[in-house]
């Protein structure tokens, strides 16, 4: 894997998941719905699941429990609602 492909992958992942860690277990919900695509362009949906926490460090690996086949060319998107524990400023 070249430095350029690593940089492109990091940008894709950053845009897709906005890298945040949320303590979702404190709320009534079970997590955010994650959709994992087997391409970097969000075109081939492979797995949909509920993720209770968004705190991933995949490196060059493949997300466990998904149908992703290539650690270099996948993307993910999450949807749902987050309920803050306190009334204060949160940064995502």
Q: Has residue 15 been placed in a domain? A: yes
Domain count, the chain: 1
Residue 91 lies in a domain: no
How many whole angstroms separate alpha carbon 92 and alpha carbon 88? 13
**pLDDT-above-90 percentage for the chain:** 34
pLDDT tens by residue, 33-42: 999 999 999 9
**Domain contains 39:** yes
Please provide the DSSP assignment of 16-70 as one string: HH------GGGSSS--EEEEEESSTTS-SEEEEEEES------TTS--TTS----
Residues 20-53: tens digit of each pLDDT: 444 444 456 788 999 999 999 999 999 999 999 8
37: domain range?
3-79
Whether the pTM exceeds 0.75: the reply is no
């Amino acid at each position: 894997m070249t430095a350029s492909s690593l940089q492109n992958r990091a940008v894709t992942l950053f845009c897709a998941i906005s890298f945040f860690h949320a303590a979702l277990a404190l709320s009534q919900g079970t997590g955010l719905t994650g959709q994992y695509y087997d391409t970097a362009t969000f075109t081939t949906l492979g797995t949909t699941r509920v993720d209770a926490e968004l705190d991933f460090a995949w490196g060059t690996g493949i997300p466990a429990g998904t149908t992703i086949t290539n650690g270099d060319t996948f993307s993910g998107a999450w949807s749902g609602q987050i309920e803050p524990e306190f009334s204060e400023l949160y940064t995502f």
